[in-house]
Amino acid sequence: MKLTVIGAGPGGYETALYAAKRGLDVTIVEKDALGGTCLNRGCIPTKALLAVSDTVKTIRDAASYGITVPEGVMADFEAAFARKDSVVKALNSGVEYLLSAAKVRVLRGTGTIADAHHVKVALSDGGSETVETDKIIIATGSEPSVPASFGYDGERIITSNEILALNTRPASLIIIGGGVIGCELAQFFARMGTQVTILEMMPHILPNEDRDTVRALEKSFRKDGIKVFCGKGVEKLEPVDGGVTVTLSDGNAYTAEKVLVSTGRRPATRNIGLENIGVETDRRGFIPVDGYMHTCAEDVYAIGDVVPTQQLAHVAAYEGFVAVDHICGDLREADYRAVPGCVYTNPEVATVGLTETAAEAKGIPVKVGRYDFMGLGKAKASGHTEGFVKVLADQNDVIVGGTVVGAHATELLQTITLAVQFQLTAEQVGHTIFPHPTMGEAIMEAVHDIHHLSVHKP
């Protein structure tokens, strides 16, 4: 069976590899670099940059570990970006190798759906080719969404695409939007020496996170000199000499050399031929699908940022696997019970399932167990005492959510994610042996705390 995947982001290329391993004859179409936004202008480059700024912080805190370093240690902005580019290039090559090894045919160009069994590709090096196929998976991803009134110019008023391609460090930066991308980039630039201001129209940054999580991150931001203003919308942006002035709805104005617009992303569903197969998007541009990622068009599926689910790389890949399984005759519906969300700031933030704040807002009765890293031997020994673990259980003791804030939070979350996914009880997880000394012991203590049995908590 022939499968054509349009888009080679993490959703697309992982889907293509999985389909090839399941015996399908796969072609993947990509107009840009392999790996899509995540690898080239998103997840990976930002993590590479954050690794630099985190190292800067570690060096500056070296005295607390009994280490003396020369005064005036400075971060090299250009070198940090060169390292980022090197990481991205290596991973690009890795994706290309994997696709080649799996015998996935890669077509470089822009794919348009001609009908449910033909994809026309305008090749990047000229000419065109029409691919005949049995099934199609749309994985074209998303692009930054910028309000027309903001006057985006790609130079002073920019998106994540441009900020990750800068040659020099801006002296000052305003970030409109305090979501995941805005917070991560704010901390990197602040630690590299840029004066950073975040403007968020919601009551607080990371609007979907637990209130205790937000307090912990705001405390860290204050230490980094990041200014945060919430609760007011943007009225206008005006280019001025040497920068841009942003005026809020309350009349307050802020000026910086550059303004990063980080107000969300929109699905890349325009001009891909949906009208040729009778597929209509919703008012936001998303493609409706069923539990198997199947569109209303027979033999056409859609995954990732083009469908109305969480815009996360790991969700896109998961949805691709669900679609391929359906194509191969396995009826496995997508299950979003345990979708992990990660913010790679310092401290890291990781959440799965319900948060305490969301449970209260929805009137869902839960039992909450909490343990602060301050009480852990490993945390004290390593100097990573900032943060906490929260675990939520329902009235039947089933774990329905959890939050980790602190060092390695995005790695530690997986234990709670498995518990939520397989509906384990707090008692079951509490009877599990956790190694000592580890940061993961905070999860054990939080689970025990649900029953008021945390022995290391007064």
Q: Among all residues, which ones are annotated catalytic?
A: 436
Q: Round to whole Å and give the CA distance between 132 and 116.
A: 9
Q: Round to whole Å and give the CA distance between 164 and 167.
A: 9
Site of tokens 């198997």: 292
Q: For residue 283, what are the CA distances in angstroms to 267, 276, 311?
A: 11, 19, 17
Q: Is 438 helix (H, G, I), strand (E, B) or coil?
A: coil
**For the residues of 91-141, what is the DSSP string, one character each?**
HHHHHHHHHHHTT-EEEEEEEEEEETTEEEEEETTSSEEEEE-SEEEE---
Q: Round to whole Å and give the CA distance between 408 and 428.
A: 24
Span between the terminal Cα atoms of the chain, in Å: 62
Nearest to 168 by CA among 242, 246, 80: 80
Are 235 and 265 a contacting pair, CB within 8 Å? no
Both tokens of 379, joined, read 């945390």
Q: Round to whole Å and give the CA distance between 313 and 410.
A: 14
Residue type, 390: K
Both tokens of 272, joined, read 């891909």
Site of tokens 């899509």: 36
